[in-house]
Amino acid sequence: QYGWRTHYVSEDVGVNSRLDELQAAILRVKLQYLDAQNARRAAIAAMFDAALAHSSLAPPAWRPEATHVFHLYVVRTRSREAVQARLRAEGIGSGIHYPQPVHLQPAYRGRVALGPSRCARTEIAAAEVLSLPLFPELADTDVNRICAVLRRL
């Protein structure tokens, strides 16, 4: 998938853009729920934003005139491992999506004229990002519990 042999490490340049008939049929049904699901994710994100207002965690940056669908809710923290451990201790999952910047992926060695430290901000971001659970089916009780933990971080 995507040139991966190891999760999130691209050894080869690749894509996965196939859509067969079954996937198309499922999407045709699911698309009717997309607007409501996007609205639910945005509502959860707003609750997370409020919970993080006085936190050391940096919420996702986005422009108010834009519409964000919050496929992921990614915070940034210099204490990622400690925050992730605290969330885990509270029974809250989290993830590190794309921990290795593109310019450091094996697939792009020799293709991208950048090596380590040439994209310092990108490398810092990759070391700080942490995805919080956010999906439309997340119950209000779970959202409130996550927010309570976020307020204590």
pLDDT tens digits for range 81-90:
999 999 999 9
pLDDT of 112 above 60: yes
pLDDT of 68 above 80: yes
**pLDDT given at position 102:** 84
May I ask the CATH class of domain 4-152? alpha beta
> What confidence category does residue 136 fall into, taking pLDDT thresholds of 50, 70 and 90?
very high
For 4-52, how does the pLDDT look when each residue is reduced to its tens digit (9 = 90+)? 677 777 777 766 677 889 999 999 999 999 999 999 999 999 999 999 9
Please, what is the end-to-end C-alpha distance for the chain in angstroms? 36
Q: How far apart are CA 118 and CA 5, in angstroms?
A: 26
The secondary element (H helix, E strand) that includes residue 23 is: helix 21-30
**pLDDT given at position 3:** 57
pTM (predicted TM-score): 0.84
Contact 21, 118 (CB under 8 A): no
**pLDDT given at position 87:** 98
**pLDDT given at position 106:** 84
Nearest to 132 by CA among 89, 100, 88, 99: 88
> What confidence category does residue 97 fall into, taking pLDDT thresholds of 50, 70 and 90?
very high
pLDDT of 1 above 70: no
Q: What is the mean pLDDT of the chain?
A: 90
Nearest 10 degrees: CA dihedral of 90, 133, 23, 39? 140
